[in-house]
Amino acid sequence: MNNPIDRFTEAIETATVGGAGVFAPDAVLDATVPHWRFAVTGATNIEAELARWFADPGRFEEIRRTPLPNGELVEFVLTWEEDGEPHMCHQAHHIEVSDGLITRDSAWCGGRWGAALQAEMAEAARS
């Protein structure tokens, strides 16, 4: 599995982003999360940040990968269990690749939703 985006998505599911080795040394993570936007530079710093995001093994309930001229747009719904409670997130990552490594990840995250919020969203969807 040489494609860095294949390795990245596998590392998300297996909670091994911290050691995935998919980011270029000078890579940039430009992240938009609920009520905040920030940037992280450097492979080690990005891996540490994303290891916090994806700390528990999970499963993609939905994943869509759209090829782009210099990378991919990866959109997904990820589920996992944290402290015995089901969780879920919905994210999009515009990933740029050069020389076999991710050089930029522009990420948008809708937040982390525990069981109570998931139940509330399911009820709203039925209305």
Q: Does domain 4-126 have CATH number 3.30.70.890?
A: no
Q: Where are the beta strands (DSSP E) in 16-57?
A: 23-33, 36-41
Its pTM stands at 0.93
Number of neighbours of residue 70 by Cβ within 10 angstroms: 11
Amino acid at position 54, single letter: F
Torsional class of 64: left (φ above 0), alpha (ψ -120 to 50), beta (otherwise) = beta
Per-residue pLDDT of the chain in tens (127 residues, 90 and over written 9): 579 999 999 999 999 999 999 999 999 999 999 999 999 999 999 999 999 999 999 999 999 999 999 999 999 999 999 999 999 999 999 999 999 999 999 999 998 888 888 888 888 988 8
- Domain residue spans of the chain: 4-126
Q: Are strands 71-82 and 58-68 parallel, antiparallel or unpaired?
A: antiparallel
Q: Give the chain's length.
A: 127
Residue 37, judged by CB atoms within 10 A of its CB (0-12, 13-18, 19+), counts as exposed
pLDDT of residue 60: 98
